[in-house]
């Protein structure tokens, strides 16, 4: 009977459609927080979340809602990450709920992530409450937005779509009653063996790993011995509780509850989203399905620029503690010195880490051009290697096949921008998979290589569509691609930080652009120095860096020794490349 008064739900929406604002309003109207607290936007408190206006890490709040009949309900609001790079995390946090509020901005209508999030909710079999937001806005087109929502799902009816202003609070009362009336209460057996789903975790330097969980079966008391099934670890529980919105310890958590566990585990990376927790004394027979190890999709080098390597190291270690999806390892570059190779869920994730290093730690860093993973099959023994760093891309003579990861890229855009967007996607090796209408908008799906999306695609999409197009991606699979390695040699010595892996049909333009930039940027020496782009042993582009003074040009034979060394394959670069060179070529700006 206790569970009759519990509702576990999440708000899902496209970025900026008002998720945080509605969450604030709900907390306020249930007196969970005062109006003044919400001014600080409790759910969005990281500096970068502010800068991006999106939620990076999810947080969960228990609200107490007293309805018109005087009954008190526990409304557990589970906040989900706001970006598709975190799709897996979104799907796990949705599994912790029994229903979602699908929020659509009436000034924008249904957009790419509205659809992506709707699909995740549908796949998880959740009750969906469709809501039109921002009806107070002069630009709102409520009827059109309703039409688009109805177009999403045949089973939606016009009457069930709520119309609100999360900002002013108009209509939010109806949202609170709809949560009570439409979202099913949890039904797990409190006396069954413990079965809890970890949908988020954070690391506290003193307490260790704190897991956010939904209990589906059983009861968890403080001091119980717990078994983490995927990690195959046991640990004694230290504390359980809820955020209401501040940390509130409780004696126990029971089936249907959402709360936190101070796990007593000190290894920040031991517990992952999707983990199943059960009790050592009475374990559950089967873990939750669908557990995934986080798989970085995009890699890039992170190097200190002006800042100290040690400071960068400390900052990166700290960031990784609270972001299980961010992976890193030390990396040494001849040209850039000591740094790190980071692995990210996507380009947006990379940008967030970059900004956090800058904003939260005050570090000036250089990010090398991002690349995706390559799966290379070697001729010898049919061996397969995963390559995450272009400098480790094998010699072309050894390669039998190269594959790279692809995504389904869904874009929504106004009708008249179709040509521009198609041209852009096709220039990025996109293959059209689907074309559909969505109200007055079009929705196109392209299958595209991650490596093409990783580099600046989103910015270009925004630019060709004047900010109207939206993008959401979904991992597809690995596919064969004609990728080649391109090395850059300055005065016959390879510069390791300027090694790229790219598609053969991009080689010519990219090679010429790069050597031209280098010609203009590399500091001159007494002798003339060639800049060469080399692919499969052939020079595909070349420019000469002129000598320091015209007079010295006569003495270009100085590089004869270098030339000999090159033939012997031993040339070492003695050229100091200034940061601007790497900025111009590598940095994403």
Does 87 belong to an annotated binding site? no
Q: Is 165 in the site for ligand GTP (CB under 6 A)?
A: yes
Q: Is 296 in the site for ligand GTP (CB under 6 A)?
A: no
Among 144, 167, 313, 517, binds ligand GTP (CB under 6 A): 167
Q: Is 54 in the site for ligand GTP (CB under 6 A)?
A: yes
Q: Residue 454 gets which letter from DSSP?
A: H
Q: Residue 566 gets which letter from DSSP?
A: H
CA separation for the pair 338, 310 (Å, rounded): 10
Instruction: Draw the binding track, 134-153, toward ligand GTP (x: CB under 6 A; -: no contact).
Output: x-xx----------------
Does 19 belong to an annotated binding site? yes
Nearest residue (CB) to ligand GTP, 116 versus 196: 116
Which candidate, 184, 249, 192, 237, places its Cα nearest to that of 219? Answer: 192
Does 16 belong to an annotated binding site? yes
Q: Is 18 in the site for ligand GTP (CB under 6 A)?
A: yes
Does 17 belong to an annotated binding site? yes
Nearest residue (CB) to ligand GTP, 137 versus 573: 137
Please, what's the largest Cα pairwise distance for the chain?
A: 96
Minimum CB separation of residue 544 from ligand GTP in Å reads 49
Minimum CB separation of residue 32 from ligand GTP in Å reads 17
Among 16, 360, 460, 496, binds ligand GTP (CB under 6 A): 16
Asked whether the bond before 284 is cis by omega within 30 degrees of 0, the reply is: no
Q: Is 27 in the site for ligand GTP (CB under 6 A)?
A: no
Q: Is 562 in the site for ligand GTP (CB under 6 A)?
A: no
Among 6, 7, 20, 60, binds ligand GTP (CB under 6 A): 20
Q: Is 407 in the site for ligand GTP (CB under 6 A)?
A: no
Output phi, psi for 25, to 5 deg. -65, -40
Is residue 291 a contact partner of residue 276, using CB atoms and an 8 Å limit? yes
**Segment near ligand GTP (CB under 6 A), from 164-172, 454-462, 513-521, 527-535?**
164-172
Q: Tokens representing 121?
A: 């909710």
Does 133 belong to an annotated binding site? yes
**Segment near ligand GTP (CB under 6 A), from 129-137, 223-231, 463-471, 576-584?**
129-137
Q: Tokens representing 158?
A: 């016009």
Nearest residue (CB) to ligand GTP, 46 versus 124: 46
Q: Is 517 in the site for ligand GTP (CB under 6 A)?
A: no
Is residue 228 a contact partner of residue 236, using CB atoms and an 8 Å limit? no
Question: What is the helix (H) or strand (E) element at residue 99, kind and residue range?
Answer: strand 99-105
Nearest residue (CB) to ligand GTP, 13 versus 265: 13
Residue 405: CB partners within 8 Å, gap ≥ 6? 297, 372, 373, 449, 450, 475, 476, 477, 478
Q: Count Cβ neighbours within 10 Å for each residue of 546-572 and write b for 16 or more, e otherwise.
A: ebeeeebeeeeeebeebeeebeeeebe
Q: Is 117 in the site for ligand GTP (CB under 6 A)?
A: no
Minimum CB separation of residue 498 from ligand GTP in Å reads 36
Which candidate, 361, 344, 349, 367, places its Cα nearest to that of 308? Answer: 361
Q: Is 15 in the site for ligand GTP (CB under 6 A)?
A: yes
Minimum CB separation of residue 503 from ligand GTP in Å reads 33
What three-state secondary structure class fits 92? helix
Q: Is 133 in the site for ligand GTP (CB under 6 A)?
A: yes
**Segment near ligand GTP (CB under 6 A), from 11-19, 277-285, 312-320, 461-469?**
11-19
**Segment near ligand GTP (CB under 6 A), from 131-139, 218-226, 281-289, 391-399?**
131-139
**Segment near ligand GTP (CB under 6 A), from 50-58, 66-74, 242-250, 418-426?**
50-58
Helix (DSSP H) and strand (DSSP E) numbers for the chain = 15, 32
Question: What is the helix (H) or strand (E) element at residue 372, kind and residue range?
Answer: strand 371-372
Among 32, 55, 76, 327, binds ligand GTP (CB under 6 A): 55
Does 136 belong to an annotated binding site? yes
Nearest residue (CB) to ligand GTP, 24 versus 98: 24
Is residue 183 a contact partner of residue 98, using CB atoms and an 8 Å limit? yes
R_g over Cα of the chain: 27
Instruction: Quickly list DSSP for 374-443.
Output: EEEEESGGG-EEEE-SGGGPPPGGGEEEEEEEEEEEEEEEEGGGHHHHHHHHHHTT-EEEEEEEETTEEE
Q: Tokens representing 460?
A: 């270009």
Q: Residue 496 gets which letter from DSSP?
A: G
Query: What is the length of the chain?
Result: 589
**Segment near ligand GTP (CB under 6 A), from 15-23, 84-92, 489-497, 577-585?**
15-23
Instruction: Draw the binding track, 61-90, toward ligand GTP (x: CB under 6 A; -: no contact).
Output: ---------------------x--------
Q: Is 19 in the site for ligand GTP (CB under 6 A)?
A: yes
Question: What is the helix (H) or strand (E) element at residue 366, kind and residue range?
Answer: strand 365-367
Q: Is 101 in the site for ligand GTP (CB under 6 A)?
A: no
Q: Is 355 in the site for ligand GTP (CB under 6 A)?
A: no
Residues contributing to the site for ligand GTP (CB under 6 A): 13, 15-21, 53-55, 82, 133-134, 136-137, 165-167
Annotated binding site for GTP: 16-21, 133-136
Annotated binding site: 16-21, 133-136
């Amino acid at each position: 009977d206790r569970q009759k008064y519990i509702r576990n739900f999440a708000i899902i929406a496209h970025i900026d459609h008002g998720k945080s604002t509605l969450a604030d309003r709900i907390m306020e109207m249930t007196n969970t927080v005062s109006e003044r607290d919400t001014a600080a936007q409790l759910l969005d408190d990281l500096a970068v979340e502010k800068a991006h206006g999106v939620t990076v890490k999810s947080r969960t709040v228990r609200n107490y809602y007293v309805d018109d009949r005087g009954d008190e309900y526990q409304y557990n609001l589970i906040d989900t990450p706001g970006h598709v790079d975190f799709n897996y995390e979104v799907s796990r946090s949705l599994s912790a709920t029994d229903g979602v509020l699908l929020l659509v901005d009436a000034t924008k209508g249904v957009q790419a992530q509205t659809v992506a999030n709707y699909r995740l909710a549908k796949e998880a079999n959740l009750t969906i409450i469709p809501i039109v937001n921002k009806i107070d806005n002069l630009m709102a087109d409520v009827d059109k937005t309703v039409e688009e929502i109805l177009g999403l799902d045949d089973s939606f009816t016009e009457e069930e779509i709520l119309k609100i202003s999360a900002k002013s609070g108009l209509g939010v009362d109806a949202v609170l009653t709809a949560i009570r009336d439409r979202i099913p209460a949890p039904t797990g057996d409190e006396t069954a063996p413990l079965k809890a789903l970890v949908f988020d975790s954070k690391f506290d330097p003193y307490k260790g790993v704190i897991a956010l969980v939904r209990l589906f079966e059983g009861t968890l008391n403080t001091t119980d011995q717990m078994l983490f099934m995927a990690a195959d670890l046991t640990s004694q529980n230290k504390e359980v509780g809820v955020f209401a919105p501040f940390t509130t310890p409780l004696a126990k958590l029971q089936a249907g509850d959402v709360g936190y566990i101070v796990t007593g585990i000190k290894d920040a990376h031991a517990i992952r989203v999707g983990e199943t927790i059960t009790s050592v004394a009475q374990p559950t027979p089967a873990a939750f399905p669908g557990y995934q190890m986080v798989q970085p999709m995009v890699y890039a080098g992170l190097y200190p620029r002006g800042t100290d390597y040690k400071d960068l190291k400390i900052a990166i270690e700290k960031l990784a503690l609270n972001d299980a999806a961010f992976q890193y390892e030390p990396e040494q570059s001849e040209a850039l010195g000591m740094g790190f190779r980071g692995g990210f869920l996507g380009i947006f994730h990379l940008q967030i880490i970059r900004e956090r290093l800058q904003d939260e730690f005050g570090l000036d860093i250089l990010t090398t051009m991002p690349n995706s993973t390559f799966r290379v099959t070697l001729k010898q023994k049919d061996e397969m290697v995963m390559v995450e760093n272009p400098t480790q891309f094998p010699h072309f003579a050894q390669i039998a096949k190269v594959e790279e990861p692809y995504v389904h890229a869904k874009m929504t855009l106004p009708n008249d921008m179709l040509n521009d967007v198609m041209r852009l996607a096709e220039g990025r090796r996109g293959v059209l998979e689907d074309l559909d209408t969505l109200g007055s908008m079009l929705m196109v799906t392209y299958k595209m290589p991650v490596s093409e999306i990783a580099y600046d695609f989103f910015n270009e999409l925004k630019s060709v569509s004047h900010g109207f197009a939206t993008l959401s991606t979904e991992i597809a699979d690995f596919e064969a691609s004609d990728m080649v390695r391109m090395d850059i040699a300055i005065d016959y010595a390879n510069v390791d930080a300027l090694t790229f892996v790219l598609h053969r049909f991009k080689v010519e333009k990219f090679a010429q652009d790069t050597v031209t930039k280098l010609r203009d940027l590399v500091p001159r020496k007494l002798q003339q120095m060639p800049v060469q782009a080399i692919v499969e042993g052939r020079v595909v582009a070349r420019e000469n860096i002129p000598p320091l003074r015209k007079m010295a040009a006569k003495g270009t034979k100085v590089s004869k020794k270098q030339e000999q060394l090159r033939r012997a394959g031993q040339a070492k670069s003695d050229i100091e490349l200034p940061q601007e060179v790497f900025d111009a070529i590598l940095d994403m700006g």
